[in-house]
Amino acid sequence: MTSVTDTASSLDQEHHHGPAKGLMRWVLTTNHKDIGSMYLWFSFVMFLTGGAMAMIIRAELFQPGLQIVEPAFFNQMTTMHGLIMVFGAVMPAFVGLANWMIPMMIGAPDMAMPRMNNWSFWILPFAAVMLVSTLFMEGGGPNFGWTFYAPLSTDYSPPSTTFFIFAIHMLGVSSIMGAINIIATILNLRAPGMTMMKMPLFVWTWLITAYLLIAVMPVLAGAVTMMLMDIHFGTSFFNAGGGGDPVLFQHIFWFFGHPEVYIMILPSFGIVSAIIPAFARKHLFGYTSMVYATASIAFLSFIVWAHHMFTVGIPLIGELFFMYATMLIAVPTGVKVFNWVTTMFRGSMTFETPMLFSTAFVVLFTIGGFSGLMLSIAPADFQYHDTYFVVAHFHYVLVPGAIFAIFAACYYWLPKWTGHMYDEPLAKVHFWMSFIGMNLTFFPMHFVGLAGMPRRIPDYALQFANFNEISSVGGFMFGTTQLLFLFIVIKCIRSGAKAEAKPWEGAEGLEWSVPSPAPYHTFTTPPDVK
């Protein structure tokens, strides 16, 4: 996709080793663009893998009664789907976008540590293969949910759990190295004149995300290490029979897990903050407030972890603290939504595919935010906890939030990456099929959740049948549509029309560089009115 001689680090590689050819070029590359491309392709393969598991889940839940898989395998699918989507699809995709765009956005020749960049990528395929291979081991793969609560994951787990723990460690090491590299690049390699408050918001959101990663990945490593000790070395960290506490696991896991949720959404904020101003032909409204809002969200994400644990019996004062702290996150998030909407207000908007995905992001992510606010209310959460309402909430945050933003970024930057334009009409079909499929899948889950359908079950009562049928049809629609995305990207790379130097400028005959005259405010008197 790009020449290996693009950057100083790659020239260094050629000088010492001669030009790398064919497959070895990709194995040895230190070029940020090559590595970014590999991250993106890897994440798409994982996206399809995790998606196939979701299809099995939705096929089983199409109607009540056992249909296609055994309950034990269903549990393995729910576990692996979550783990693969979080660690294999969403996070590597954002790291791929960071690799591609951050050096170019700040005027750097490459990432600060190109060889470590290569290493942090190549750990991923091995970790992913190890994770997926657990499904083929004796006793099957992990069957205890993607949150792997002890003692279910320690005392009652299949033998493959040890390999699962090792895979999680490797994924964490990769994330930490990628984060260190991003921080070093942003702080040290900015072009002269590129001050912190002039950086594009995508760079800001990734800088903050990288600090989050470094803070929380060791916490996850600690949790799985204690699991390993409980399984093999006779310790009792999470075993009440030996003086341990199963709730301790939940505290440690969610101290990692809640900031992790924001790790998967903050880069989306940066992407959307780049795309909406472009297609509204206006500067982003409230840049400074966006930076501070992002930092506020990151800080607050560390002090709300126990809102996942309202039902474990924490003291009332604890419930109140975590309830109010969680509600507080709605403030900086609301600032962001306000700024995006205000940026669009009275802009000369056109709706090419990146803008469609970004607009859908704002609307649907807000719905996910509102259901999150409902879940933050402790007494109400006792009713919602472990129902499909929770599943609906976090999928409304992660599918339109993370995945739609990744699609928007790919369409927006594909002309820059490949030199070719993608097929716009086909891309719009991809958007509308994804939009309709996603809402058909997850909106009915709010209703079955409020009616009492528990999550993570392979079978359910008859009264939930109709909504589950709609969800399954929507799920298959959303899943198969992603094959169209694959076709659009390959077609763009191989035979797309040549992209112009500024591909979005002339999209509808509007020049970004010549903004239309500012409209009169509705609250002032125009000069021609006496």
Predicted confidence (pLDDT) per residue in 196-246, tens digit: 999 999 999 999 999 999 999 999 999 999 999 999 999 999 999 999 999
Phi–psi pair at 498, nearest 5 degrees: -60, 130
Is 455 designated active site? yes
Please check whether residues 327 and 220 belong to one and the same domain: no
Is 110 designated active site? yes
Tell me if 48 is assigned to some domain: yes
Is 446 designated active site? no
Which of 58, 81, 393, 430 is an active site residue? 81
> What does the DSSP 8-state code read for residue 350?
-
Which of 37, 134, 175, 441 is an active site residue? 175
Which of 326, 333, 418, 471 is an active site residue? 333
How wide is the angle at C-alpha 265 spanned by C-alphas 260 and 269, nearest 5°? Answer: 145
Please check whether residues 190 and 282 belong to one and the same domain: no
Please check whether residues 132 and 228 belong to one and the same domain: yes
- Residue 479: which CATH number? 1.20.210.10
CB atoms within 10 A of CB 156: 11
Please check whether residues 185 and 303 belong to one and the same domain: no
pLDDT value for 3: 41
Block residue for tokens 């949910």: 145
CB atoms within 10 A of CB 272: 30
Tell me if 384 is assigned to some domain: yes
Block residue for tokens 């803008």: 355
Please check whether residues 415 and 505 belong to one and the same domain: yes
pLDDT value for 18: 52
Is 287 designated active site? no
Tell me if 13 is assigned to some domain: no
Please check whether residues 314 and 233 belong to one and the same domain: no
Is 307 designated active site? yes
Tell me if 244 is assigned to some domain: no
Block residue for tokens 């992913």: 128
When divided into structural domains, the chain yields a total of: 2
Report pLDDT digits (tens) over 325-344: 999 999 999 999 999 999 99
pLDDT value for 4: 38
426-429, long-range: CB within 8 Å, 24+ apart, which pairs? 426/484, 426/487, 426/488, 426/491, 427/353, 427/488, 428/353, 428/356, 429/484
Please check whether residues 431 and 282 belong to one and the same domain: yes
pLDDT value for 20: 67
Q: Rounded to 10 degrees, what is the CA torsion of 4, 9, 11, 16?
A: -110
Which of 146, 149, 211, 287 is an active site residue? 146
Q: Against a cut of 0.85, is the pTM above it? A: yes
Q: Give the domain extent around 340.
A: 265-522
Please check whether residues 235 and 291 belong to one and the same domain: no
User: How would DSSP label each residue in 360-415?
Assistant: HHHHHHHHHHHHHHHHHSHHHHHHHTTBHHHHHHHHHHHIIIIIHHHHHHHHHHHH
> What beta strand segments (E) does 116-163 contain?
none
Q: Using the predicted structure, report yes or no on whether residue 515 has a pLDDT greater than 70.
A: no
Please check whether residues 214 and 300 belong to one and the same domain: no
Q: Using the predicted structure, report yes or no on whether residue 513 has a pLDDT greater than 70.
A: no
Which of 34, 60, 230, 260 is an active site residue? 260
Is 260 designated active site? yes
Is 289 designated active site? no
Which of 37, 49, 161, 174 is an active site residue? 174
Tell me if 5 is assigned to some domain: no
Half-sphere exposure of 473 (CA within 13 A, CB side): 10
Tell me if 17 is assigned to some domain: no
Which of 25, 385, 428, 455 is an active site residue? 455
Phi–psi pair at 387, nearest 5 degrees: -110, 175
Q: Using the predicted structure, report yes or no on whether residue 370 has a pLDDT greater than 90.
A: yes
Q: Using the predicted structure, report yes or no on whether residue 396 has a pLDDT greater than 80.
A: yes
pLDDT value for 131: 97
Tell me if 36 is assigned to some domain: yes
Which of 2, 273, 371, 481 is an active site residue? 273
Is 175 designated active site? yes
Is 16 designated active site? no
CA distance linking residue 313 with residue 316, whole number of Å = 9
pLDDT band (50, 70, 90) for residue 19: low
CA distance linking residue 79 with residue 102, whole number of Å = 33
Which of 32, 282, 308, 430 is an active site residue? 308
Q: Using the predicted structure, report yes or no on whether residue 521 has a pLDDT greater than 90.
A: no
Please check whether residues 221 and 172 belong to one and the same domain: yes
Which of 336, 393, 430, 446 is an active site residue? 336
Lowest mean pLDDT among 4-13, 202-211, 467-476: 4-13
Is 190 designated active site? no
Phi–psi pair at 385, nearest 5 degrees: -55, 135
Share of the chain above pLDDT 70, in %: 92
Query: Sign of torsion, CA 297 302 308 310?
Result: negative
CA distance linking residue 446 with residue 374, whole number of Å = 12
Q: Which residues are registered as beta bridge partners of 454?
A: 387
Question: Which whole number is the average pLDDT over 470-490?
Answer: 98
Is 296 designated active site? no
Tell me if 167 is assigned to some domain: yes
Please check whether residues 365 and 415 belong to one and the same domain: yes
Please check whether residues 375 and 468 belong to one and the same domain: yes
Which of 32, 33, 281, 307 is an active site residue? 307
Report pLDDT digits (tens) over 97-156: 999 999 999 999 999 999 999 999 999 999 999 999 999 999 999 999 999 999 999 999
Task: Name the nearest CA neighbour of 214 among 257, 183, 253.
Answer: 183
164, 153 contact by CB (below 8 A): no
